[in-house]
């Protein structure tokens, strides 16, 4: 290879007719001409552009690979850019105005976010939550039946034992329930407790094989029931329930209401801030509207 020169290879890129000149393994001397490496329509890529992206300590083989990859990417990018500029409508090409609009919007958003973080009161009293709930109950209609319940399942071949424990379970007195709990402990059965929060009735039905009549009976009122299915028995206690299309309990929508009130308070804070800033600018003669 001749000193100070790199082997050049020309390749045609499909229908775009772009000529690529790939660098050889040797590096161009500092005083060499700023050689043209690639062209894409009106744009040119020269050695001085490429030299900035090739590490000085790269091997000749690595330099060649990096150079070819960069040139290929550069040409492909400019081909797509040219097609975009040729085919997009004029109003979509006004990128400078779009970028300036975006910059202004981003500045305002960041300023208002900082103000919200500093000034926004995020605490709400129970009275505020209750007040919003009372005024907007129609917005909190249930889409499904919901329930608070406890249940457990046992597999017991002896019907007499199941009947005995069913009687104690349905009796409900503390002494009788203590016998049931000891029985369950001996069987290694865990009570599924969903009494601390509301659960969808569909999920409840998925865990307990209720027929349509049995399901309607359980949902009709609170209380205890024992449901037999083959060799298994489900002991179910419904503590509370709400029917679909009725109003949701406050505790179930408490967080939703808090989020609504917080957003209203946030918007009000921003609106007040904008009004105060505008008023101050007018008083300082920093703004004028010419009729």
Angle at 75 between CA 70 and CA 76, to 5 degrees: 100
The H or E element spanning position 267 is helix 250-283
Residues facing residue 39 across a β-bridge: 44
Band the pLDDT of 187: cuts 50, 70, 90. Answer: confident
Domains annotated on the chain, with CATH: 9-86 (no CATH), 141-242 (3.10.50)
Buried b (16+ CB within 10 A) or exposed e, 164-179: ebbebbeeeeeeeeee
State yes or no: pLDDT of 56 exceeds 70: yes
Distance CA 223, CA 47 (A): 85
pLDDT of residue 253: 94
Calculate the CA dihedral of residues 42, 43, 47, 48 and round it to 10 degrees: 120
Band the pLDDT of 20: cuts 50, 70, 90. Answer: very low
For 246-286, the pLDDT digits (tens) are 999 999 999 999 999 999 999 999 999 999 988 989 888 88
State yes or no: pLDDT of 54 exceeds 90: no
Predicted TM-score (pTM) of the model is 0.61
Q: Which two tokens stand for residue 222?
A: 């609170």
Burial class for 211, CB neighbours closer than 10 Å (0-12, 13-18, 19+): exposed
pLDDT of residue 13: 32
Burial class for 214, CB neighbours closer than 10 Å (0-12, 13-18, 19+): middle
Residues facing residue 234 across a β-bridge: 153, 227
Give residues with Cβ within 8 angstroms of 168, minimum separation 6. 176, 177, 179, 180
Mean residue pLDDT of the chain comes to: 81
Band the pLDDT of 15: cuts 50, 70, 90. Answer: very low
């Amino acid at each position: 290879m001749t000193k100070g020169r790199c082997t050049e290879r020309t390749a045609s890129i499909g229908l775009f007719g772009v000529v690529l000149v790939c660098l050889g393994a040797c590096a161009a001397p500092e005083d060499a001409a700023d050689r043209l490496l690639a062209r894409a329509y009106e744009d040119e890529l020269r050695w001085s552009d490429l030299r900035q992206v090739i590490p000085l300590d790269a091997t000749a083989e690595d330099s060649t690979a990096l150079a070819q990859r960069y040139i290929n990417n550069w040409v492909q990018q400019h081909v797509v850019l040219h097609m975009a500029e040729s085919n997009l409508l004029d109003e979509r090409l006004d990128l400078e105005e779009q970028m300036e609009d975006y910059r202004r919007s981003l500045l305002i958003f960041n300023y208002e976010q900082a103000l919200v973080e500093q000034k926004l009161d995020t605490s709400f009293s129970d009275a505020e939550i209750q007040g919003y709930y009372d005024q907007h109950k129609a917005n909190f209609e249930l889409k499904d039946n919901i329930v608070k319940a406890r249940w457990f399942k046992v597999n017991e071949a002896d019907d007499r034992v199941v009947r005995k424990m069913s009687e104690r379970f349905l009796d409900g007195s503390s002494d009788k329930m203590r016998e049931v709990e000891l029985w369950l402990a001996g069987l290694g059965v865990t009570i599924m407790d969903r009494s601390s929060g509301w659960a969808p009735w569909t999920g409840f039905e998925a865990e307990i094989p209720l027929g349509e009549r049995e399901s309607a009976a359980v949902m009709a009122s609170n209380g205890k029931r024992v449901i037999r299915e083959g060799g298994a028995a489900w002991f179910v206690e419904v503590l509370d329930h709400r029917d679909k299309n009725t109003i949701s309990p406050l505790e179930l929508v408490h967080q939703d209401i808090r989020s609504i009130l917080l957003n209203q308070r946030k918007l009000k804070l921003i609106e007040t801030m904008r009004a105060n800033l505008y008023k101050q600018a007018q008083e300082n003669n920093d703004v004028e509207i010419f009729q």
